[in-house]
Structure 1
Amino acid sequence: MSAPDPLEQLSSEQLHDLAVRHARHHLDVGFFWRLMKVLPAAEAAAGEDDEAEADLQSLVAHIDDVTESGKGEVGDLLRPFYLDYLRQHNVTPKG
């Protein structure tokens, strides 16, 4: 039996914060680009159709959303995205 994954114990908002912090520290523009590509689908799945439409129309809206994309149902829908990114980069929670 393998040890439990410490990332799975984090909330969606904590995963978001850890992934964004790692990407910022490493200047990983690709992460933010991929997040902006998957964010409208997560917002639409969460019933935030107006938000998804606005995101498709404006890159500026994406930049604001990136800072909020770890919260609520959208954050929960993006958990697999954050988990995949953090695992690819061997990032684990501290403490």
Structure 2
Amino acid sequence: MAGRRPRLAELCALVERVRQVPFNPNITMAELIALSRRRDAPNPGIEVEETADFERMERDVHAALHKPPTWDSKARTGPGEILHSAAGCDGCH
């Protein structure tokens, strides 16, 4: 995606930086972008042109990033912590 939709990749990377939560726990979008720019990266094919809908979404995302999150992020914890913090969990022992 980073090579084919660079503006979307940059927007995702911005969200990750501001919210400090990666979309993928194994690699950040910034890392994917860096990999896509390497000389030995696969050819991404045709770059997708962004439309007016993307422009609106981009403005909405920037506006939303100026506000605090409306949810308590569990993404910074491991999956076991999320399960064990659920109401009524006895620790699965």
If the length of structure 2 is used for normalisation, what is the TM-score?
Answer: 0.23
Question: Scaled by the length of structure 1, what TM-score is found?
Answer: 0.23
Q: Name which one, 1 or 2, has greater alpha-carbon Rg.
A: 2
Q: Which has the higher helix share?
A: 1
